[in-house]
Chains A and B, each alone.
Chain A
Amino acid sequence: MAHAHKFKIPIGPQHPALKEPASFSVALKGEKIKGVDVRLGYNHRGIEKACEERTYIQDLYLIERICGICSHAHSTCFVQAVEELAGLIVPARALYIRTLVAELERIHSHYLWLGVAGHEIGFDTLLMYTWRDREVVMDILALLTGNRVNYGINTIGGVRRDIDKTQIIDVLAAIDTLEERTKYYIEIGTQETTLIKRLSGVGVLSHEEAVHLGAVGPTGRASAVDRDVRRDDPYAAYDKVSFEVITDTHGDVYGRTLVRLKELMQAYSIIRQILTNLPDTPIAVKAPRTVKAGEAISRYEAPRGEDMHYVKSNGTDKPERVKVRAPTLANMKAVKQMLKDRYLADMPIVIAAIDPCFSCTDRLVSLEYTDKNDDEIIEWGKLRAYSIQWYKQRGVDFSKLNKRFASKVVW
């Protein structure tokens, strides 16, 4: 009868707290969480496979649609890998413009997160305020790229649109407004009692746990994991600007909020530096249709953490393999740790605090949490032998097929 008082409530796949489908099955005892079962994969769209069937330029637009919020992150990350494969040297102005859009995107993503966090803890006023201010940066993005969400500014070998002097003035004015507002939110975040009460001590992730579970981005940095691809492995124009990597020692949701708010301030400084030092070069070089055979990995510090793309080319105009590892996937493991023995009321904000993007995450990777530690690692050869055996038992024999393929396929 130990389970008599245990509730098992489903948060998702459809639930008001979730903006995207994901399933969290929560075992409750009273108001305390006793166990969480996370299931992802409701948003799998087969983008990686689709990429293999399109040319690099077509892929660019597909990749950009992996995520609605950090679309520039994914497209830049992909483009960098392809450029590396093709051996292209991207003009400096293009790199600066990419950095500019990247930071503007970070601003809009962090504003969005702040609003969502406000909503999750029942503080809708914060949601309304931040999303109102987010419009400023959205308008700027539309001004620069022509789009509010999927900017379509990247192309292989550079960017598609230049920016002119009047646009620079507009961007600087908008940045001033946003900086003013961000200072106000920092003030609220450090002073408003109910807000601090709901955020501090919630979803605690110690430094060791964060390192062990591989937390990335603001989630990791709030646990004093001093990692930022922009500084550690500079891409675009990040080696030309000076900025601080914000870390925090709180290790809870409050720390994550502070990290994001302070990152906003850094973003304003980066944008100002970019706009004053914009070099006068062409914005793109001509890219070949086909890309030399090879493979490349590209890293990018998306607003949510480190984004990673792997591209393998085979000398044609289509990639042989594209692999995307979105930051949310790296952070999902930390969520269970954060939810342990917490209150149900904290669950939405703890999940929201990693700024999850399930549609980014849903690759063909199954992530299943089990309390038992009986997982074993199977090598490729063993797995293959196992599968042949499995089919043989069911009366399917692949040996003929194998002979036919043996000469072509190298495992």
Chain B
Amino acid sequence: MGEIIRYLKDLFSILIFPGFLFLTAAGFCAEFIDRKLYARLQNRVGPPWFQPFADFVKLVGKETIIPREANQSMFTLMPLVALSATVVTIFYIPLWNMRSLYAFDGDIIVVLYLLTIPTLAFFIGGWYSTSLFARIGSVRSLTQLFSYEVPLFIAVLSSALLADSWSFSQITLFYNRHPWYWLYNLIGFAVAVVALLAKLEKAPFDIPEAETEVVAGSFTEYSGRFFAMLRLTLNIEMVVGAAFLAAVFLPFGYTLGPVLRFGIFMVKIIGIIVILSFSRALFARLRIDQMIIFCWKYMVPLAFMQLLINLYMKGMVR
């Protein structure tokens, strides 16, 4: 009996809360906040609150066209791979509890790995749709991946270095024992936010889907429910990415009451989404060569600086 209840509980957390259903709703909310804020910053009215959901429903109901030249299985499989990878990630991130749902030692590496999969899926999906625009877009997203992933990894892992653990839950525990230590990671946080912008392919790093050059990049040939799935993936990735950054760089407020904890978690996520929308509204899109130069010339040294600071701090702590 206890076995069954445990399975049901797992099923509940995977499918409903904080799994798929919750994430979908959160993704829609995130898209709404992003779009509304972006619109207000541009002096526009912006969409009503249900717009992301309405867009989703409309897309799902539309005809799905698969190009004859495209590799059928890859083309249809990749949106699913991307979506499941992003949803799975949430189980290994400490949300409002200090412990993530299925914590194990070294899960921070798994989270970084899982967050890379959507980009790879976009690449493969775009590549196999055989459209020229999609191919150029997907090559661009891969080029971009190699540039922002390095500073992101260094920034995240330097935070883990200070906590002296590869386990996400251990890291959160450490930062709760030393409440103000997260302030040392602010440079890393800035680097990671920029990397997240690139990961979500948002301006100024929306190079892979720059509509004035490559139409919609990897997504050019996608339509109907596959496109809806890709959009949902990006929305969920925004929430998951924000939750990830919040857990690594803003690990506070875990000792309060359950409602307050949840509230603080939400505030953190919304705060990161607000930063993303602001930078989307404030900057022009970079060129791919400028993006690579920016990542390797400024972001990587900054991330290394974070690493050095944390190495020094670690000596101080001991």
Residues of A within 8 A of B (CB): 7-10, 15-17, 28, 31, 118-126, 128-129, 132, 192, 194-195, 197-198, 343-348
Contact = CB atoms under 8 A, between A and B. Distances in A.
Contacts of A121: 284-285
20 contacts: A7-B135, A9-B133, A9-B136, A10-B132, A15-B215, A16-B212, A122-B212, A123-B203, A123-B285, A124-B42, A124-B203, A124-B281, A126-B284, A129-B43, A194-B285, A194-B286, A345-B210, A346-B287, A347-B213, A348-B212
Given A124-B42, A347-B213, A7 B136 contact: yes
Nearest to A196: B284
Given A122-B204, A122-B206, A195 B212 contact: no
Contacts of B215: 15-16
Range of interface residues on chain B?
A: 20 to 34
B6 interface: no
A55 to B, nearest CB: 43
Contacts of A192: 284
Given A120-B212, A344-B136, A197 B288 contact: no
Nearest to A31: B288
A121 B211 CA distance: 10
A133 to B, nearest CB: 10
A129 B40 CA distance: 11
A72 B203 CA distance: 37
A411 to B, nearest CB: 48
B2 to A, nearest CB: 55
Interface in B40-54: 41-44
Interface string B196-215: 00000001101100111111
Nearest to A7: B132
A349 to B, nearest CB: 8
B105 to A, nearest CB: 42
A210 to B, nearest CB: 24
Contact of A118 (B204, B206, B284, B290): B284
Given A7-B136, A17-B213, A194-B204, A343 B288 contact: yes
A122 B136 contact: no
Nearest to A352: B212
Contacts of B289: 31, 343
B267 interface: no
Nearest to A198: B284
B282 interface: yes
Contacts of A132: 43
Contacts of B285: 121-123, 194, 198, 345
A194 B213 contact: no
Which are the 3 A-B pairs with shortest beta-carbon distances?
A122-B285, A123-B284, A128-B42
A13 to B, nearest CB: 14
A165 B217 CA distance: 54
B207 A195 contact: no
B131 to A, nearest CB: 10
Given A194-B283, A194-B284, A119 B212 contact: yes
Interface in B41-87: 41-44
Contact of A128 (B44, B133, B136): B44
A197 B291 CA distance: 11
| SS of A interface (majority) | helix
Interface string B214-241: 1100000000000000000000000000
Contact of B213 (A123, A198, A345): A345
Given A124-B42, A125-B42, A345 B288 contact: yes
Contacts of A346: 287
Contacts of B290: 197-198
Contacts of A7: 132, 135-136
B212 to A, nearest CB: 4
B41 A122 contact: no
A123 B283 contact: yes
Nearest to B216: A16
A345 B285 CA distance: 10
B284 A122 contact: yes
A195 B290 CA distance: 12
Interface string B156-173: 000000000000000000
A28 B132 CA distance: 11
A347 B212 CA distance: 9
A9 B289 CA distance: 20
Given A195-B284, A343-B287, A343-B289, 8 more contacts: A7-B136, A8-B132, A17-B212, A119-B212, A121-B285, A122-B206, A125-B42, A198-B290
Nearest to A345: B287
A344 B217 CA distance: 13
Contacts of B136: 7, 9, 28, 344
B41 A125 contact: yes
Nearest to A117: B284
Contacts of B211: 16-17
A9 B212 contact: no
B221 to A, nearest CB: 14
Interface string B130-170: 00110110001000000000000000000000000000000
Nearest to B42: A128
Nearest to B291: A345
